[in-house]
Structures are given as C-alpha cells and as structure tokens.
A and B are shown apart, each in its own frame.
Chain A
C-alpha cells in the first residue's frame, strides 16, 4: 500500500439514522449521493437494523464509520471486534471504513467516548503500528477521523494536525476530516483552523463530516444534535477551496430532525463546495 490510489469522490451524503429508514427506502431521495452507517449499530445478529441496511444498500453506495476500535488504546487490539467488522464489511461492501484518532477505554473497560491521545512521537508510533495491523487484518486502508477535544495534555509535543499527519503517513491510512471538529477544537484550544487545513496532506483527505454542536460559553461541546452553524459553513468553504473534491456528509446523531431538514443542509454543502470542485475538474 505504498502508492496512493486516486482519491474517489462520492459526492454529498448523509449518516443513515433509524428515524429515516422508511422514508429513504420508499422515496430514495436523489439529493443523497451516498450514506454512511455506524458500524456498531449493525454488528448484531439480525432483525430490523440489518433488514433496512440490506434494502437501503441496494439503492445507495455506503461507507462504514466505527466508534469502538479504540485504535489508540494500550489494551491489545480486540480481534473479536475486528472479525465482526470484517464480516460487516463483507456484507456491506463499503467504499471505505473509518474510525477515530482516539481511544475509548483501557484495562478492558469501555467509556464509550472518543478520548484524545497525547500528541507525542511515542503515541504516533503506537497508533500507526496498530492502524497497520488493522489494515493488514482487513486487507484495506482505513480512514482516521479527527476529534473534537476539550483538553490539552502537558505531554503534547506537536499540534493536532501534525499528529494526524504523522499518523496517517506512518500508517499509510487516509483521513476523515470533520470540519465541525476542527472548528470546535480550534475554539477550545485557541488555534487557527486555517493552519490546520493547510497542515494536513490533501491527497489523504477522503471524507468530510459536517455537524452541529453546543457552545457552553468557554468550551464548545460536540453534540451533533443541532443544525450546522454559520462559522462551520464558512470553514467548510475554505476547506473546499484548500483541499479540493472530498466526499462530504452531514453527521447528525441526536435530536434527529425530519429527513427534509438534513437534506437541506446537504444541499447547502453542495452549493458551497461545488463551484470549487467544478473549477478543479476543469483545470
């Protein structure tokens, strides 16, 4: 996996949510180019979620997004989990799969949260080595997503984007760049989000998330339960200008609105990014 394959562009997609199953299945909205599923929601034996997954998969390309790989943990990799993930990959045949640049628990406990890593060389080596093991086991490259974070470790020796870049290059993996998370972390840690965008390897950025959050005053908490705010849309415009055509989706996890509302956000993303993408294709 030494040379980068051509970056695929899927267009504009949505995170598939239970509340929208029936509507998507019945109406197959044309505005949705592709769907992202949360892998763990389908790592079950049967029943309704898998029923809808198989049906909807016939109508849309999909990518898979996991929350439990705990790739940054110092616990051994969970191969039971990875086997289940492999089985789901075989079932869904996604364009790619992703998880987060984080750990979710240690000593065999699970906090079910995306916990940040210290930005150190040791952590780069640790996580890149594990990503390589996962990619070898699953026989494909993965995408790794930047978090929203609320803390800075005293141990940090580099910026978040340097860390993300180092990990992706060392592990030869790709990047799911969450534009909302860059905004949230830049607010919480007082960095310039443009520096972040300029600091990541554009050819490795294969996917974007756009989402909403809650501002508590001195900290922004990433909740994915609100509409996307204007400063994030502005940052997305900059992202499109700097990074070129990247498959983009709306990631709404809580307080799920009617499908038409999320599609409206999707259309806004399309409107913002398309001029840059079109210009790029004409070059």
Chain B
C-alpha cells in the first residue's frame, strides 16, 4: 500500500499516530487534545508516561550497548548525549538492537572537543556487538587440519575467514582504555593519541567477542589474506617489513596464530 492509496479512515488514524509520535519525540504537544484528562491524571501526565518511557528505554538500551562510553560520560552526560542522538538518528529499525548503529558517525560529527577519542571508544564497543551476533560458521579450521595440507600446496593456499571477523584502525588507545573501565580498574591509562593507527582485530571465539592488536606486518597480511591473496603472495608482500630469509616462517607464524584464534574456517588449494 502506497501513501497515496491510503484509505480515508486510515488517514485519520495516520494523522492521530503522527500527532502521538510527535508528542513522544518532543516535536509538538498537539496530541494532548486527543486524550481524555481525568481528575486523578491529566492528559499531560498520562502522556508523560509514554514520553518518559521512550527516553528511559532507549537510554537503558544504549547504556548496555555502549557500557564504557556510559561510564566515561557519567549518567547525566550520557543521557544528554543520547537525547541529542535520538533527535538526529531516530530509530527506524524494528529491533532495538540497531538503535545505536549511527553512534560513531554521530560522535564524529559532534561539536565535542573529545569527539575523536569518544567516537573510537564507541566504535570499539559497537564492533564487539557486531562480533557477538554475527553469523556462525559450521566449521573452524584447526591446526590438525593444517597438518593434512601437503607442503607443495602451501604457496597457492587461500583462506576463508569467520563471518564475525572485523578490524578497526584506532589512533587512540581506546581498546586498553575500554578494558580498564570495563574491569573497574583503579587506574585508567591516560588517553593517548598516536600519529599512526593501530589495527585491532576483532572476532567471536566460541560465543564471546575477542580482540587483539596487530603489528604493521600482520595488519597488512590479514587484510591481504582476507581479500584473497594466497600464501606465496603474503610472503612476497611481507618482504616490505621482513627479511627474505625469515619471511616464510613469519607468514607461517601469522597463519598458525589465526588458526589458534579460530578465525579461519577453511583453506582452499589451487586446482
């Protein structure tokens, strides 16, 4: 049904719903006239239940999705930020799971002096959520499986990664900072900005989100492997950072680590 073909009776209902929604979002108070006041509770008071519930529900939900951002900003600071956020990014998804999907963008474009740190902190938390309920893989490639691969196949090997795998390039120490606040450690690391970003690999191991930082060589290698480069190509590319005599052993070391991390689901040999 298009908006034009909306039945006339539906259009009354549509207008009523728009007025109600505008009341909830704080756009207009017109809707009060559609509501009966009683002696014990005026329309304004009754509607306040919906007005407040909308804010409380979404603030609670986002305080769970961004638990450390919430800690960092404090109760009041977080609430004020979310109210601003909801004005710019009202939820359009049926599931409350996705209400926070624009938070990083929102923070990046905010006027806050600490927006670059906060947006990285938010990105780190949001990405954990994405890892948490990303698709499952029927299989995980284990070290025993690697032993079955004949040595002559190694150069042509390509890799398929777990659907939960993601990475973030962060200029701030948002990840260790997150961990300190999450674990209620007495001493937080000082916020530190670096000229070059650190790549954080994030994925789900079993049912829990997992992450670790990569050095520049491994950061390049995982991206290349993810994009379909084979083992020989990885070795060749790694020559930029690693000497020719140890490049194969370094690449094999990365591969072994990825298998131990349970981020490879299968390997393919050339036909």
Binds A, one of B50-58, B72-80, B225-233, B253-261: B50-58
In angstroms, Cα B242 to Cα A156, docked, is: 76
User: A122: CB under 8 A from chain B?
Assistant: yes
Residues of chain A within 8 A of B12, CB atoms compared? 122
What per-residue 1/0 map shows which CB atoms of B112-127 lie under 8 Å from chain A? 0000000000000000
Question: In the assembly, what is the distance between CA of A219 and CA of B20, in Å?
Answer: 19
Q: Which of B127-171 contact A (CB under 8 A)?
A: 132-136, 163-164
Q: Which residues of B have CB within 8 Å of A118?
A: 13, 16
Q: Inside 8 A of B36's CB, which chain A residues have their CB?
A: 151-154
Q: State whether A218 touches B17 (Cβ < 8 A).
A: no
Q: Summarize A's interface: helix, strand, loop or mixed.
A: loop
B49 vs chain A, min Cβ distance (A): 4
Closest partner residue, chain B, to A70 (CB atom): B94
**Given the complex of chains A and B, what is the CA–CA distance between A113 and B99 in angstroms?**
13
Residues of B within 8 A of A24 (CB): none
Contact between A109 and B46, CB atoms less than 8 A apart? no
| A70 to B46 CA separation, bound complex (whole angstroms) | 21
State how many angstroms separate the Cβ of B201 from the closest Cβ of chain A. Answer: 18
Please indicate the chain B residues that have their CB under 8 angstroms from the CB of A243 in the complex.
Answer: none
Main secondary structure of the interface of B (DSSP, over half): helix
Check if B46 sits within 8 Å of A105, measured CB to CB.
Answer: no
Residues of A within 8 A of B208 (CB): 48
- Cα of A47 to Cα of B163 in the assembled complex, Å: 11
- Let me know if B96 is at the binding interface, CB within 8 A: yes
Which single residue of chain B is at the shortest CB-CB distance from A109? B90
A283 lies within 8 A of chain B by Cβ: no
Identify A112's interface contact among B1, B43, B57, CB under 8 A. B57
Alpha-carbon distance between A122 and B38 when the two chains are bound, in angstroms = 25
Asked if B91 is at the interface of the complex by the 8 Å CB criterion, the answer is yes
Interface: A45 (CB within 8 A)? yes
How far is A50 from B38 in the complex, measured between Cα atoms in Å? 46
Residues of A within 8 A of B2 (CB): 76
Q: Report the separation of the CA atoms of residues A46 and B133 in the bound assembly, to the nearest whole angstrom.
A: 5
Contact call A153/B35, Cβ cutoff below 8 A: yes
Cα A104 to Cα B1 with chains together (Å): 18
Residue of B with least CB distance to A80: B94
Contact in complex: B38, A190 (CB < 8 Å)? yes
- Let me know if B111 is at the binding interface, CB within 8 A: no
Q: What mask results when residues 195 to 230 of chain A are scored 1 for a CB within 8 Å of chain B, else 0?
A: 000000000000000000000001101000000000
Q: Which residues of A contact B136 (CB under 8 A)?
A: 45-47, 50-51
Cβ of A150 within 8 Å of any chain B Cβ, yes or no, is yes
With both beta carbons as reference points, the residue of chain B lying nearest to A81 in the complex is identified as B94
Q: Does B133 contact A110, Cβ atoms closer than 8 Å?
A: no
A155: chain B residues at CB < 8 Å are: 16, 34
Q: Is the CB of B133 within 8 A of A74?
A: no
The 8 Å CB contact of A45, one of B1, B7, B58, B134, is B134
Most chain B CB within a 10 A radius of its CB, from A111, A113, A115, A153 = A111
Tell me if B133 and A113 are in contact (CB < 8 A).
no
CB of B207 closer than 8 Å to a CB of A: yes
- In angstroms, Cα B20 to Cα A51, docked, is 39
B14 touches A113 (CB 8 A): no
In Å, the complex CA distance between A73 and B14 comes to 8
Q: A26 at interface (Cβ–Cβ under 8 A)? A: no
Instruction: Confirm or deny: B18 has a beta carbon within 8 angstroms of a beta carbon on chain A.
Output: yes
The answer to whether A125 has its CB under 8 Å from any CB of chain B is yes
Known: A107-B21, A111-B21. 20 other contacts (CB 8 A): A40-B97, A45-B133, A49-B133, A68-B95, A74-B10, A74-B13, A74-B17, A104-B94, A105-B21, A105-B91, A106-B21, A112-B54, A113-B50, A113-B53, A150-B41, A151-B47, A152-B36, A153-B16, A154-B34, A218-B41
> What are 13 A-to-B residue pairs whose CB atoms are below 8 Å?
A44-B97, A47-B133, A68-B95, A105-B21, A110-B92, A111-B54, A112-B99, A115-B20, A126-B13, A150-B47, A153-B35, A188-B41, A218-B45
